[in-house]
Structure 1
Amino acid sequence: MASPKTVRWGILATGGIAKTFTKDLLVDPATRGVQHLRHTVVAAASSSSVSRAQDFLNDTGAPADAKAYGSYQELVSDPNVDIVYIATPHSHHYQNAMLALEAGKPVLCEKAFTVNAEQLRKLADKAKEKELFLMEAVWTRYFPLSIYVREQITSGRIGPVARVFADNSMACDPEVQWKDGTNRMVNPELAGGALLDLGIYSLTWVFQTLYHTQPADARKPPKVLAAMKNYAPTKQADETTTIVLSFPRSHQAGGDAHAIATTSLRVATSPAGNQDVPGIRIQGPGGEIQVFPPAFRPTRTRIVLQDGTVEDKDWPQPGPGEGSGWRNGFGATTNAEGEGHGMFWEADEAADAVINGRKEGRYEGLDESILIMEVMDEARKQGGLTYPDKIETTKYPTQL
């Protein structure tokens, strides 16, 4: 067997999501059955200081010789970096990704990819021009659980998908939790609100089950009807957004299919955090597939068929295992000892693409990412939500 190839990562930004990703990245891929590649971190950059970047490298267990940079330009200029992971707020993704692409670096960029579809089209054009890999880090798409759900659909197990309900909501108290209005969840300067931060997962489940599972030559964009409630204190952020989508399909494929994607900062998918009600329901004439919350990191599915068959399946996240002393998590939540968070699956996909010369992800290409951004653009248009011009612009470079 050939030796695994090592892909060298540069981490652009050093916040919470970057820490979770990097800790997962450095877990031995063999713990999840991946043998042909390895990951390492050779550099990290903080826009605030070199010392913050160094603290990040220390905290995540990066190799001792990894470089700490105090600017993103230094990171993308490092010749030892094979691929850049961008973990800034989505308000900054367009500027940061363009910086990396212009420097000739492949990019894995956190979701939401950009704040509007035109920005993403520009990035896709630049990646094509430079012949570089570019992928949205919608980690959930790469979970074995998600692959399983899509396989159940394409096998015809429940028949043609007729409708999908997808919710990703959390009962916050934003006026108390983020009372100064500067948090990324509600801050217009960071393209805040439920839609781009949480609603992207609701749309991810709709698209990966109802759009991506169709033959590539048969997929058609959906019609969109949206309702939006703005967050009163900051005005330019959505508190709750609900989108109704109608996907055109041929009569032979089951006819038009419907979906509802919803998200909220005020109410939860699963009250009290019990995760005991399905946040995702994928329905066909033969039954339905249920996915239990959280939508972004589900670990349980249920199939209910018309004949009364019920199949429950757990999907624990792999990792170094109990007794390793290793822990990961996000925010205030820490996973069980030795349990990965699940961000390594998307890293494996990106690294495999770099090794093999692919320019897009296999489970969500750039055209599909652009279409999802177009749906969010339309939802914002119907809801009257715009962000500051400097956030929406495609002018590069723009100082944010």
Structure 2
Amino acid sequence: LNSAELDEARAIADEHNVVLMDATTVLHMPLYQELRRRMDAGDFGRMNLAQLNFGSYKEYGDLTNRFFNRNLAGGAMLDIGVYALSVMRLFMASQPAEVVSLGNTCETGVDVAGGIVCRNAEQQLGVVSLTLHSKQPKRSVISFDKCYIEVNEYPRADHATIVWTADGHREEVHAGTEAYALCYEMADLEKAVAGDDSKRELLDYASDVMELMTKLRADWGVVYPEEE
């Protein structure tokens, strides 16, 4: 549910010499691995801004379902925010140190919408909007000096469009297959168990995302029973 629980899980895994891995799909999709490879090679120039939307329409009629149920760790942040924040963090040079936000809660006490702005030491910005009560496109735009990259349906994306600043031409990038998302998670776990440090380090990104989510929920006053 929070950073303290994740820290405890990591410590137990280390104590027993087992591999702990976050199954959030965006950490494992080949598309993001390819885009990050090109980013790290300097193809895109400096990353300046990440903008991400994620909106689902969930009826308020049944507030006992998992989306709104405080006893089931409901709310937009843990249900859909994790995907947006994971994409944002993958393209940032470091963890955001400054975070400002506004969050709306429903009568059960969980968050149903949020607007978030983050900034790290490199002055890279992340802007995220989330809602469980309005349909939005799952759209991410990562802006660099030389281009911007647009990824739609980003939680399990296998396709991105790069629009180059100099002449406006569009480059289509395909990597992986959406239907194999869970297979990529298992493959990365196998590689991590076999000693691939690049796969083991994915948990550091997950820890950064959990730290952001924990802070945001605290700022919004969203507390689950186990945390009281």
Question: TM-score, normalized by length of structure 2?
Answer: 0.91
Cα distance change of structure 1 residues 167 and 264 upon mapping to structure 2, 3 Å threshold: same
Among 211, 214, 226, the alignment partner of 1:377 is 214
User: What secondary structure does 2:104 align onto?
Assistant: strand
Quote how far apart the aligned CAs of 1:169 are. 1.6
Higher share of residues assigned helix: 2
Answer yes or no: is the 8 Å Cα contact 1:227–1:241 preserved in 2.
Answer: yes
User: What secondary structure does 1:137 align onto?
Assistant: coil
Higher share of residues assigned strand: 2
Matched to 1:257, the amino acid is Q
Aligned-residue RMSD, C-alpha = 2.1
Matched to 1:378, the amino acid is K
Counterpart in the other structure of 1:186: 68
Matched to 1:370, the amino acid is S
- Per chain length, whose mean CA-contact separation is higher, i.e. which structure has more relative contact order (CA < 8 Å, sep 6+)? 2
Quote how far apart the aligned CAs of 1:167 are. 1.7
Among 38, 42, 46, the alignment partner of 1:152 is 38
Counterpart in the other structure of 2:148: 288
Counterpart in the other structure of 2:128: 261
Counterpart in the other structure of 1:86: none
Answer yes or no: is the 8 Å Cα contact 1:133–1:359 preserved in 2.
Answer: no
Quote how far apart the aligned CAs of 1:182 are. 2.1
Cα distance change of structure 1 residues 316 and 144 upon mapping to structure 2, 3 Å threshold: closer
User: What secondary structure does 1:296 align onto?
Assistant: helix
Query: Within 2, Cα distance between the matches of 1:223 and 1:303?
Result: 28
Answer yes or no: is the 8 Å Cα contact 2:21–2:200 preserved in 1.
Answer: no
User: What secondary structure does 2:156 align onto?
Assistant: coil
Query: Within 1, Cα distance between the matches of 2:95 and 2:90?
Result: 14
Cα distance change of structure 1 residues 359 and 148 upon mapping to structure 2, 3 Å threshold: closer
Cα distance change of structure 1 residues 300 and 358 upon mapping to structure 2, 3 Å threshold: closer
User: What secondary structure does 2:65 align onto?
Assistant: coil
Give the 4+ runs in structure 1 shifted more than 6 A. Answer: none
Q: Any gaps of 5 or more consecutive residues in structure 2?
A: none
Query: Within 2, Cα distance between the matches of 1:316 and 1:132?
Result: 28
Cα distance change of structure 1 residues 374 and 317 upon mapping to structure 2, 3 Å threshold: same
Query: Within 1, Cα distance between the matches of 2:13 and 2:110?
Result: 30
Cα distance change of structure 1 residues 221 and 131 upon mapping to structure 2, 3 Å threshold: farther
Query: Within 1, Cα distance between the matches of 2:198 and 2:5?
Result: 17
Query: Within 2, Cα distance between the matches of 1:145 and 1:358?
Result: 19
Matched to 2:76, the amino acid is A
Query: Within 1, Cα distance between the matches of 2:139 and 2:30?
Result: 18
Question: TM-score, normalized by length of structure 1?
Answer: 0.53
User: What secondary structure does 2:89 align onto?
Assistant: helix
Matched to 2:59, the amino acid is P
Q: After superposition, what is the alpha-carbon deviation per residue over 1:188-237, rounded to whole angstroms, capped at 9, x for unaligned?
A: 00110111010000001100111xxx3xxxx35421112101123x2x21
Larger radius of gyration: 1
Q: After superposition, what is the alpha-carbon deviation per residue over 1:60-91, rounded to whole angstroms, capped at 9, x for unaligned?
A: xxxxxxxxxxxxxxxxxxxxxxxxxxxxxxxx
Among 168, 174, 181, the alignment partner of 2:54 is 168
Counterpart in the other structure of 2:28: 142
